[in-house]
Each structure stands twice: as C-alpha cells, then as structure tokens.
Amino acid sequence: MSTLRPILLVEDSPKDIELTLEALAKCQLANDIHVARDGVEALDYLYARGSHQGRNSGEPAVVLLDLKLPRVDGLEVLEAIKRDPALMQIPVVMLTSSREEKDLVQSYKLGVNAFVVKPVGFSAFLEAIQDIGVFWAILNEPPPHRLSGAGSNDL
Amino acid sequence: MNDLRPDLTTCDREPIRIPGSIQPHGVLFVLSAGRTVEAISANAAALTGRSAGEALGLSLEALVPDLDPELLDALTGPLPVDRTQPLGSLRRGAVRYDAMAHAVGPHVVLELEEVPPGQADSRQIQALIGGVVTHLQSVRTVAEGLQAVARTVRELSGFDRVMIYRFDASWTGTVIAEDRNDALPSYLELRFPASDIPQQARDLYRLNRVRQIPDASYSPVPIATRLGGPIDLGFSALRSVSPVHVEYMNNMGTQASMSVSILIEGELWGLISCHNKLAKRVPPEARSACDLVAQILSMRIASEAVHGDAAERVAKQGALTRLLAAMAASPNYAAGLATLPDALLALTGAEGAAISHEGRVTLIGRTPDVASVRAIIGWLQGDGDQGVFATASLPAVMPAAADFADAASGLLALSLSQVRSTHVLWFRSEVIHTVSWGGDPRKQFEAIGPDTRISPRKSFEAWRETVRRTSRPWSPAEVDAADNLRRAIVEILLKRAEEMASLTEDLQRSNRELEAFSYSISHDLRAPFRHIVGYAELLSERYGEQFDEKARHFLHNITESAHTAGKLVDDLLHFSQLGRVQVHPVRVDMNKLMSEVIRSLAFETRDREIEWHISDLPPATGDAGLIRQVLFNLVSNAVKYTRGRTPALILVSGRVAETPGGRETAYTVSDNGIGFDMAYVDKLFQVFQRLNRSEDFEGTGIGLALVRRIVERHGGRTEAIGEIGRGATFTFALPERAAERI
C-alpha cells in the first residue's frame, strides 16, 4: 500500500478527466487517483459502499470536485462531506468552469477548502493543478484524530 | 327663566293642516258612507236653514234638498285623495256655488265655494293659456319667458301683483319676475328668508298646488264635528290659514293672496305668488288655469335644466377626455394634468387651479400663493380629507382663508392619493355683491305682548346687504365633473399599479431566465474552449517536433482562436454579471488606484516609450473594484491605441465640478493615439462595437461598454472626444454622493 492516500477526482467530462490527469501526471504525484463520474459514485467511494464495498484504500488526501455533475451535483457532495463528522476533515477543492459568484459563495458557506476556476489556457490550468496537488496531496498533513482511524498504518 | 325670544321654528310646528276652521267664502261638509254629515262648517246654516248641531247625523240629501243626482252619485263614487275634484255647480237663490270633493280616509270632504259674480270667460282663459304656451316655446331661455308667465297669471286672476318666486338650496326665496299695477309696490329681485314660508307650509305646497286667501281680514268659520279627532284639511280649498300668515299679509299691505306651486321632479322649485291690495276672490276655473300655466312653466324649466345640464356635461366630458389622454401620455398623472391648464379650468369652470403632488405645487391661473395652497391642503387633511369638497365661501369654514379670499373664496378640492398626498384644487375669486331682502332678515319676527306668540315683521322695505368672501357657487355638474376626474384618476392609478406589478413579474422572470442562461454559458461554453486549448497545447508539446512549420502555425492559430473565444465568453459574462452584482460605494483613493493600474500594465508597456502625465486625482465615491476596472480599461486602451507613437503621451487628470445635478468628480484619460472618427462616437460605448480591425488591435469590444455600464450604475456619465490620428480623450464623471440608483 502506498504511503500516500489517493486523490479523488469527481468529474463527468471525459475530456476534463483526461486533461486533469495529464496535469496531475505532470506534477509527478505518487498518489493514486480515483475518478468518480458523478456525485453518487463519489459518495459511494467515500462511504465505501455500492461498487466500492470493502474498498481498502483509506480516505482520500484531497477531493477534486467538479461543480456540475449528473445525479448528485458537486455542491451536494460537498455538503454531504462537510456535514458528516467522519468525512468533514477531508480537504475538498472545487474545480469548476463556473465563474459564478453565487457558486463560490455557496461553496465557501458549505466549507470548501479551495475554489479553482479552470482557466482557459492549459498552461495556466497546469499551474493551478500543480499548486493544488503539491499543497493538498503532499504538504497537507492529515488531521491527527484521523490517524487513529482507518489510516493508522499510513505513518 | 322663560326665554321670551320667538323661536324661528315656531311656525314649523304650527298644525296648519288641521286648523278646525275654514275661510268664510264657502261651506264645508264631511260625510261618511251613506252621505251622513259627520262635520259641517258653522256658516252652512245660511244654506241649509239648520244649525250645525241639528245638521250633524243627517244625510246630505235631507239637509240640502234638490241636489243634482249626478253630484250625489259622484260623492259615493271613488274620489281623489291628493287633490279636490270639481263636481259642477249649484245655485241657491242668488248665490252660485262650485262643488268640489276629495276623500280623507273613510270620509268625503265636500266643499261648496261661493262663486263671485261675473262669469269667467273660458274662451279668454284658453286664449291666454295658448298665448303663454306659444311664448314659452319661442323663448331661448326660461328666464326670458318668466315675465310673460307672470303677466298671463295676472290676467287670468286679476291680481294687482303677480310674482315668480324661486327658492335656493337653503329655501331663501328671490323674486325673479313680476307683473303688477301701481296698487302694490314692486318686490322684484328682493329676497325673502326661508322662515317666511315655513317647512310644513312648503310640504303642503308640494302636495296641494293652489291655495287662496280672498280676504285676510276674514273671521275663521269653525267646523262642528261629531268625529273623534281633527279633520285633515290639507287638500281643502277653503282651509283656514295660520293667523301668523294673515298678519304677514296685513303687514305687507295685501288683503288677498293666491299662490301656485312650481314643482320640478316633485320638488318645490318656486311659487307663483299673487297679491291684491283689496280683498279678492278668484273663481275655481281661473285658479285651475293658473295652475295649468304653472305646470307648463314647470315642464319648460325641467326641460331646460335637462338640456342645459346635458350641454354642460358634454362640454365637461370633452375636457375630462382631454385630461385623461394627457395623464395617460405622462409618466405621472399630476404632471399630465398640468399640461392642459385650459381643460383643467374648463372642467369645473374655475379661475385658478393648483395641483399638489408629493409636496410639489403647480399653480394655474388665478390662485393664492403656494404657502396658502399648502395651508388649504393642511386644513383639508385636518378636516378628514376625503373625495370631493366644494364651498363657495372658504373663509366661512376656514377662517385663515380670509387672507386670500380675493382669489380663493370658492374652493373645489379633490383628494386623490392619501399615500402620496395628491390634491387638485380649483379656485373661484370673491364676488362682492349686494342682496336686497324683503325687510331685514334678522328681524323676521317680533314678539307681541307678554305671551310669546310671534308676529311677522312689519317692514318689507328693501334691506340691502353686502355679501363678501363668497364666490359664484359650484354647480352640481361642476362638482360631478371634479368627482369624475377623481374616479378616472383612481382608475388610472389602479391600472398603473396592476401594470407595474405585471411588468415587475415579467422582469423578474426574464431576469431569472437571463441568470440561468449566463450560468449555463459560464459552465458549458467555457469548457469546450478549454478543451481545445488543452489538447492543442498537449499536441504541440508532445508532437510539436514532428510538425513542420505550417502545421505548427495552424496549431498556434487553433490555440489562439480558442483563447480569444474563451476570453470573449469571460468578458461577456463579466459584463452581464455587472447588471446583477451589488455595488458597494466607498471613498476611493484614485491616486493609489492609478499607480496600481500602471503597475498591472507593466507587461504591455515593457518595450514602450510612454510619457505619463498624471495629475493629483481627487478621491472618488464608488465601488473600488469596479472603479478600478473603469480606470484600467481606459488606461489600457490608451496604452493599446498609442502603439506606434514615440513617445506615446498619456494624460490622466481629475477635478471636482458643480453641476445642476450636484457635485461630481470627473476623470479624464487622454492620449495621442490613433483616435477615432466622431461620427462613430455613439458606437464607441456599445458592446462588440469595434472601430478598428481586430488584427490591428486585439480586444473583444467590451471594454468601453463595461466602462459605461459601471459608470451608469454609479449614477455618473461618460463621454469621448476624438479625432482620427490625433488621439482620444475619455471622461467619466461620478456624482459626489453615489446615487441611490446603485
């Protein structure tokens, strides 16, 4: 098992998945990346239920969450994570096309850790993903009480 | 302590319908079924040869033999209850009597009136009536025909003086026409107070149109009765009149009188009042003829009233229609009214008008000053302030109005909107006039002796009174016209409120749609451009080496185009969001903002030779982020369009100025760049309007539109001056206090 916890990328557009994975690859992160295609899948993954029953990869280091998703949208996933004491410590980064202020305001109200508007230029996107990756997946220490839980052998 | 002053209403209480006596120029019987005599006037003894006491209980036939069987039949047949019906005549010795009867409850009142000697000429009566009918048809107005009516009645009746007497709303009477000989003085144009003809007399005059007093010095003839209660003589021709009235006649110097009621729509309009210096009896057929003349006159008056009223109402409707159109065409109905001063005055026949709307007063024509108008409105509000108020003597109800009685003795006021305090006032100026009374109206009665029995005034010498602080009165049609205007305005207001509500709803819906639309664009339209750029850059990065120059050029263009498209979407969204974003006005240090803008343009200015001339800029009041955007757009435009100028000159200055709308701070950005053609200045600030080819100067065509939008949201203004090849100057001005529009 990797010493690094995985990154959960929640994104419905295959092109965005591909480009984001390209960008993350350029960051040379060692973390596993799990892709969920909508809000339901993302929550199933987080709660290790449904098709993720019995998953043993620990809590993700960071959730990269698109705002507009089929079935359950990004804000609802964010709300579910931040409302649940078992999940609320997981950092969530909103990664979205939207420049809408109300989305940003709503995300921060719900307790998002960062909000990134995907730039049109790929190099700018690359920079953004790199910053996120380095900060949240590598530098960000998991909160102490999580250590006694499922991921105790991460140390 | 007893109050010995006579009560003016004493006459109102006198039981004139049941005097218990008759005048002596005839005899009266009250008969029950079977023509049994239940009551009889004492003077019947001369006719019947029996005392009243003996007569009671006998049948009429037994008492008065040889009566015409037709008359007897008529007495048992149905008889009118609201007038007395002529039943032919009978002769007893040298005296001829005209018989007439009417029903009172279960009884019949039979009157035999002595006919004075000398035969009435019925052909002459017909000719006189025919003449007055023709005359009344030929005159343009009733007023022109009144004198002829008085003359005809005098010829029919033979009185010394015949007056046409008209009541006003307070029952004061005025003599409006008269025909007379020299036996009695003229009363023409004299006024008589309402108490001269008391309430119950007027009521009786309305029911019983003709009454006469042949001799004011008569001794009333008592009626002997075996009935329990009093006998109602309201419709009797011989009814004895009030002793006060007889005294009044004596004081006027008249021995005989007759009056005929002029009724319009059942209401007492006036009287034809006839007097004779000496005693005088008018035979029944002449009285009927006078009544007929009075009725013809009534019809003529009624028809003129209807026609005159209709013509006046049509004219007023025209004025109202024009006012409504003006109000509909104006955003605010009060302003609309003021655009048609003539129609507004014509509507009520006023000399001046004032419109007060939300504290602003507009004066039209002859009015008191604004402060006085406000005082009147304050008084109206204190007085309940509802609907329509009309007075011909404002100082009488509002004492402070005496100060401006010259312009506003008459007031007609509309209270329109309680919430927004809107009033329309019409004024009529003071008309000082003299009224002649038939005797001093303040001395109508004089107490005679220690018993408080009242006596009518002794003097009928014309008594002149000057009436001040009174205008021409407002006619019912004028008051109605004002009320119609009020209703119309209330309807307009209601309709506007409904329209506003529905418009607001429409706007809210389209705003929601627009928001949903721009939300969707911001998500869905940006993504494909991102993808294009992403893949193109990946392609160039991974496989660029394998491409030839041409392929790399194509790839570069793909990336650049997608970039531009993405930026366009971003700019457009930014622009549309500005309509929704909250503006937070604060004090903005423009010098600091200016240095920030120059710093952020470092990349664009890195290889350029630019001479900056930046004056000390006064602070602005506005949303710091948005004002920065304005300054940035203008300065970056200046940098962009001076490309190729060596050196480029960019001047930035600001000043505080006083304008009619208040203090404003204006900032100017000038350059010596390519400038623009003033012919297109209007296009400059519109979205997507470009005055240059895009390959020469990059940009999306939104920058200046954004500038204008931001400045307008601050309640400010923008302007541009330019000349091709000689540079451009852009100015934006912000109000000192960011306007409430924000």
CA B492 to chain centroid:
15
Question: Which of A79-88, B349-358, B490-499 has the weakest average pLDDT?
Answer: B490-499
Output the 3-class SS for B275-295: EECCCCCCCHHHHHHHHHHHH
Per-residue pLDDT, averaged over B79-101, amounts to: 87
Place of tokens 């008209």: B166
Burial class (CB in 10 A: 0-12, 13-18, 19+), B494: exposed
Letter string b/e over residues B401-422, b meaning 16 or more CB atoms within 10 A of that residue's CB? beebbebbbbbbbbbbeeeeeb
Quick one: tokens of B627? 């004002």
Contacts of A67 in chain B (CB under 8 A): 523
Per-residue pLDDT, averaged over A24-49, amounts to: 85
Tens digits of per-residue pLDDT, B447-468? 444 444 455 676 777 777 778 8
Q: What percent of chain B has pLDDT over 70?
A: 91
Q: How far is B579 from chain A (nearest CA, A)?
A: 13
Which of B523, B562, B574 lies closest to A98 in CB terms?
Answer: B523
Question: Which of A60-69, A104-113, B47-56, B117-126 has the weakest average pLDDT?
Answer: B117-126
A114 neighbors A95 (Cβ within 8 angstroms)? no
Which of B519, B527, B529 lies closest to A13 in CB terms?
Answer: B527
- Alpha helices, H only, B544-608: 549-578, 590-600, 602-605
pLDDT of residue A23: 83
B465 neighbors B434 (Cβ within 8 angstroms)? yes
Question: Which of A133-137, B95-99, B110-114 has the weakest average pLDDT?
Answer: A133-137
Q: What is the DSSP string of B242-282?
A: PHHHHHHHHHHT-SEEEEEEEEETTEEEEEEEEEESS----
> Which distant-in-sequence residues (6+ apart) come within 8 Å of A48 by Cβ?
A54, A55
B485 neighbors B320 (Cβ within 8 angstroms)? yes
pLDDT greater at residue B276 or residue A47: B276
Tens digits of per-residue pLDDT, B127-168? 888 998 888 888 888 888 899 999 999 999 999 999 999 998
pLDDT of residue B490: 83
Per-residue pLDDT, averaged over B585-603, amounts to: 89
- Beta A62-65 vs A7-10: how paired, if at all? parallel
Domain A7-141, CATH among 3.30.420.300, 3.30.160.60, 3.40.50.720, 3.40.50.2300 = 3.40.50.2300
Quick one: tokens of B137? 């048809």
The yes-or-no verdict on residue B8 having pLDDT over 60 is no
Q: What percent of chain B has pLDDT over 90?
A: 31
A94 touches chain B (CB under 8 A): no
* Residues making up chain A, counted from first to last: 155
Return the closest-CA partner of residue B460 out of B62, B108, B122, B187: B187
B198 neighbors B268 (Cβ within 8 angstroms)? no
Which of B519, B531, B536 lies closest to A100 in CB terms?
Answer: B519
Q: Where are the domains of chain A?
A: 7-141
Q: Which pLDDT band holds residue A59 (cuts at 50, 70, 90)?
A: confident
Question: Which of B178-187, B256-265, B311-320, B629-638 has the weakest average pLDDT?
Answer: B311-320
The yes-or-no verdict on residue A146 having pLDDT over 70 is no
Place of tokens 């895009």: B694
B730 touches chain A (CB under 8 A): no
A7 neighbors A61 (Cβ within 8 angstroms)? yes
Which of A15, A22, A97 lies closest to B522 in CB terms?
Answer: A97
B568: closest chain A residue by CA:
A120
Report CB contact under 8 Å: A120, B519: no
Per-residue pLDDT, averaged over A18-24, amounts to: 86
B529: closest chain A residue by CA:
A120
Tens digits of per-residue pLDDT, B479-519? 989 998 988 888 877 787 788 888 888 888 887 777 777 77
Burial class (CB in 10 A: 0-12, 13-18, 19+), B631: buried
Per-residue pLDDT, averaged over B430-458, amounts to: 62
Tens digits of per-residue pLDDT, B313-342? 888 888 888 888 888 888 778 888 889 999
The yes-or-no verdict on residue B689 having pLDDT over 80 is no
Q: How far is A45 from chain B (nearest CA, A)?
A: 25
Quick one: tokens of A15? 């092109």
A139 touches chain B (CB under 8 A): no
pLDDT of residue B451: 44
CATH 3.30.565.10 fits B582-735, yes or no: yes
Tens digits of per-residue pLDDT, B210-260? 989 999 999 999 999 998 888 899 899 999 988 888 888 888 889 999 999
- Own/partner contacts of A13-19, CB < 8 Å, gap of 24 or more, are A13/A66, A13/B527, A13/B531, A15/B527, A15/B531, A15/B534, A15/B535, A16/A66, A16/A118, A16/B527, A16/B530, A16/B531, A19/A122, A19/A125, A19/B530, A19/B531, A19/B534, A19/B535, A19/B538
Report CB contact under 8 Å: A97, B524: yes
A126 neighbors B537 (Cβ within 8 angstroms)? no
pLDDT of residue B694: 61
> Using CB atoms and an 8 Å cut-off, which of residues 415-454 of chain B contact chain A?
none
B539 touches chain A (CB under 8 A): no
Instruction: Report the alpha-carbon distance of residue B183 to residue B189 in Å, rounded.
Output: 18
Give chain B's end-to-end CA distance (angstroms, integer).
78
- Report the predicted TM-score, pTM, of the whole model to 2 decimal places: 0.53
Q: Where are the domains of chain B?
A: 21-114, 582-735
Q: How far is A15 from chain B (nearest CA, A)?
A: 7
* Residues making up chain B, counted from first to last: 742
pLDDT of residue B413: 93
Task: Give the number of other CB atoms < 10 A from CB of residue B348.
Answer: 26
At residue A67's C-alpha, the angle toward residues A64 and A68, to 5°, is 130
Asked if the interface predicted TM-score (ipTM) of this complex is over 0.95, the answer is no
Report CB contact under 8 Å: A122, B566: no
Question: Which of B38-47, B108-117, B485-494, B629-638 has the weakest average pLDDT?
Answer: B485-494
Per-residue pLDDT, averaged over A21-28, amounts to: 82
Phi, psi of A149 (to 5 degrees): -90, -140
Reply yes or no: is the peptide bond before residue B450 cis, omega within 30 of 0. Answer: no
Report CB contact under 8 Å: B567, A120: yes
B529 touches chain A (CB under 8 A): yes
Contacts of B533 in chain A (CB under 8 A): 120-122
Place of tokens 């002649």: B436
pLDDT of residue B449: 43
B540 touches chain A (CB under 8 A): no
Phi, psi of B433 (to 5 degrees): -140, 165
What CATH number belongs to B21-114?
Answer: 3.30.450.20
The yes-or-no verdict on residue B196 having pLDDT over 60 is yes
Quick one: tokens of B575? 């622009």
At residue A150's C-alpha, the angle toward residues A146 and A151, to 5°, is 70
Cα separation values, A102 from A75, B577, B581, B625, B632, Å: 12, 11, 10, 18, 25
The yes-or-no verdict on residue B1 having pLDDT over 50 is no
What is the rounded average pLDDT for all residues in chain B? Answer: 85
Q: Which pLDDT band holds residue B271 (cuts at 50, 70, 90)?
A: very high
